[in-house]
Amino acid sequence: MTPTVMKALEEWKQASDHLQDRAVNALRLALPGLDPSKTPPYCCPVTLDVAQPNDLGDGRICIDDDRRATIELDHIPNAVIAEAVDEIFGIGWFDNADEALEDCGPGEYFYDDETNGSEYEIRLGENPGDGHVTVSYVPVPYAVELLDALTAARERQQQEAAVSGGARDGSAA
């Protein structure tokens, strides 16, 4: 390779590494509790794990060389998933869901995005806290949007529960 080509390739590599770092940062901000995996990455150069299972479940997120994310999260409250997904996609967007996910009940719901090749699978469990989210090959900005919506839904629901709980015991009006 000529020195000019080698320099251009090195510049591209630096920019690519920077983009990967920014993707990790955005994902970690969208879902607090994500940390670099302690085990080597699977097939992707970056794997993030929910370091300590929390009220948004546990699982991992991988980022491949093309800056696409794969999300696998378990033990998420069904109501959080339903609110976040309906907020982002609207009502009735997923296969098997002709109404708001909250009203659909336990089951599996799918959506394949033909524009970017991503695949969404949402499972609302029989138990209220046993939901599952798997998204494959989604562009990082869409992954960040989904994780942020899940986080925001959980925070809002926790605030509502605190207010309604406080109203019942007389500590809040």
**Domain map of the chain by residue range?**
3-168
Calculate the alpha carbon distances from 45 to 16, 42, 69, 110 in Å: 12, 8, 11, 27
- For 172, phi then psi, to 5°, come to -140, 150
Q: Kind of pairing, strands 68-76 and 107-112?
A: unpaired
What is the per-residue pLDDT across 106-136, written as a single tens digit (0 to 9) for each? 999 999 999 999 999 999 999 988 899 999 9
* pLDDT at site 41: 64
Distance CA 140, CA 158 (A): 27
Distance CA 29, CA 64 (A): 19
pTM of the shown model: 0.88
Distance CA 169, CA 95 (A): 42
What is the per-residue pLDDT across 152-171, written as a single tens digit (0 to 9) for each? 999 999 999 899 876 544 44
